[in-house]
């Protein structure tokens, strides 16, 4: 799991939905804003239409955070964003590849 200091707060998520830019891949969408702060904060959202069970949605988020933990240092400093699952994807290697592709799109 990603440390709490590296996850976006509820206020930041609302601001991202209002003002943020977005990039997409097959199973993930990234909405983000560049903030002045030094900390990079990223969160995951697994909508109910992707997985009906809360257990599956939580496992998706946990998998996303574990993959993101390896890639968080590659994000530009001050980036605040959210990854939104577009379809159910429980393969860590595919998620890692998609996160890296989205990372290259915002740099």
pTM score: 0.90
Over range 21-30, report the average pLDDT: 94
pLDDT tens for each residue of 85-99: 999 988 999 999 999
Cα–Cα distance measured from residue 33 to residue 27, given in angstroms and rounded to the nearest whole number: 20
Please name each of the domains of the chain with its CATH number: 4-106 (3.30.230.10)
pLDDT tens for each residue of 38-88: 789 999 999 999 999 999 999 999 999 999 998 888 888 889 999 999 999
User: What's the confidence (pLDDT) of residue 98?
Assistant: 94
The larger pLDDT score, comparing residue 37 to residue 105, is at: 105
């Amino acid at each position: 799991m990603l440390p709490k200091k590296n996850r976006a707060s509820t206020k930041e998520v609302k601001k991202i939905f209002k003002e943020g830019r977005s990039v997409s891949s097959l199973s993930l969408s990234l909405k983000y804003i560049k903030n002045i702060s030094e900390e990079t904060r990223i969160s995951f959202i697994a909508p109910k239409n992707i997985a009906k069970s809360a257990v599956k949605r939580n496992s998706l988020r946990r998998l996303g955070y574990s993959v993101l933990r390896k890639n968080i240092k590659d994000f530009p400093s001050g980036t605040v964003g959210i990854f939104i699952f577009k379809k159910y994807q429980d393969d860590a290697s595919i998620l890692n590849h998609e996160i890296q592709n989205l990372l290259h799109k915002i740099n």
